[in-house]
A = this chain, B = another copy of it.
Amino acid sequence: MTKITVAKGDGIGPEIMDATLKILQAAGAQLDIEEIEIGEKVYLNGNSSGIASDAWNSLRTTRVLLKSPVTTPQGGGFKSINVTIRKVLGLYANVRPCISYHPFVQTKHPVMDVVIVRENEEDLYAGIEHQQTDDVIQCLKLISKPGTEKIIRYAFEYAKAYNRKKVTCFTKDNIMKMTDGLFHKTFDEVGKEYPDIQKEHWIVDIGAAKLADTPEVFDVIVMPNLYGDILSDVAAQITGSVGLGGSANIGDGFAMFEAIHGSAPDIAGTDKANPSGLLLGAIQMLVHIGQKEVAETIQNAWLKTLEDGVHTADIFKSDNSHRLLGTQAFANAVIERL
């Protein structure tokens, strides 16, 4: 039994979490679940961080969080829960595999197996903004040496562990010569310790263009926080659906697992959402806590479900090759194939 913390979140969060937990349980995952409340209700209760203290207590004990998307209310007073948790728990690496499941999932990019390793604590996400004059507002982009070294080493170690051939780095160091320059320089330096892995660097504009057009030429890509935010959404979406992206937020003592996508309030409560992103995050979690076999069992059953043409609405194609199911029925279809 591994103790984990679970947050069902907002919008479609509760539905996709129920679906995911049902699959994990049916597959025999050894989990002792502690549920916490974060998000909308907590915010509206007057807590501007969206996270109450008993949630922190749970996280300090379990050190592992499986989290549904949450909604941050509009307006200046509320902090992003994602950013707070990443920062407080030191979750410096955000690992986002973006894989095509052609021909089972329709995509313009049938050959795609990219892992985006996103720096997860620094950059413009530090959230330091201020109004300098009536007319000018500033935001600070922070890049640190230790933070940069850590994420770049993580990307190379990940490539090594998963037998990946190439690590690419994206920066805009032709403009930000010091901040992005440090990221690029550190990539070159740390890269030398990994002679068997191919290395390349692209300026993020043309790199992003290549990623959107010919994702098949990439393998692992490491980049600063904000580029990683934008380009992991791009990469997940062009595999066929942003609903297929899972995400691992890794730190030295803590980890959080989630879907790449948001809380989609427009379809909340309609049993339409795809639970796959969160499920794939949960599979990363099972590997992380040492339950690799259960992780593989679920992964295979999920793949078999796609191969059988069983899909939620975001993937469904109305040409008789696909069967359309709701969130919970999709989860049951995965369970049948375990």
Given A179-B129, A209-B234, decide whether A142 and B137 contact each other with a Cβ distance below 8 A. yes
Residue A52 lies at the interface, judged by CB distance under 8 Å to chain B: no
Given A76-B177, A127-B175, A205-B233, decide whether A136 and B141 contact each other with a Cβ distance below 8 A. no
Residue A252 lies at the interface, judged by CB distance under 8 Å to chain B: no
Given A139-B179, A175-B124, A179-B138, decide whether A212 and B226 contact each other with a Cβ distance below 8 A. no
Give this chain's copy count: 2
- In chain B, what residue has the closest Cβ to A232? B205
Residue A208 lies at the interface, judged by CB distance under 8 Å to chain B: yes
Contact A233 B262 (CB under 8 A): no
A43→B269 CA distance, assembly (Å): 61
Residue A57 lies at the interface, judged by CB distance under 8 Å to chain B: no
Given A135-B146, A140-B141, A213-B238, decide whether A80 and B230 contact each other with a Cβ distance below 8 A. no
Q: Which of A73-112 contact B (CB under 8 A)?
A: 76, 80, 83, 108-109
Q: How many residues of A contact B (CB 8 A)?
A: 56
Collect the chain B residues with CB atoms within 8 Å of residue A109's CB: 108
A140→B141 CA distance, assembly (Å): 6
Residue A143 lies at the interface, judged by CB distance under 8 Å to chain B: yes
Residue A182 lies at the interface, judged by CB distance under 8 Å to chain B: yes
| Contact partner, A212, options B212, B261, B262, Cβ 8 Å | B212
A131→B142 CA distance, assembly (Å): 10
Residue A134 lies at the interface, judged by CB distance under 8 Å to chain B: yes
Q: Which 9 A-B pairs have the closest CB atoms?
A: A209-B237, A129-B178, A205-B233, A209-B233, A212-B212, A139-B141, A108-B108, A139-B179, A135-B145
Given A130-B178, A204-B230, A209-B236, 11 more A-B residue pairs with CB atoms under 8 Å apart are: A72-B174, A80-B174, A127-B175, A131-B178, A138-B141, A138-B143, A139-B176, A140-B140, A205-B232, A206-B237, A212-B238
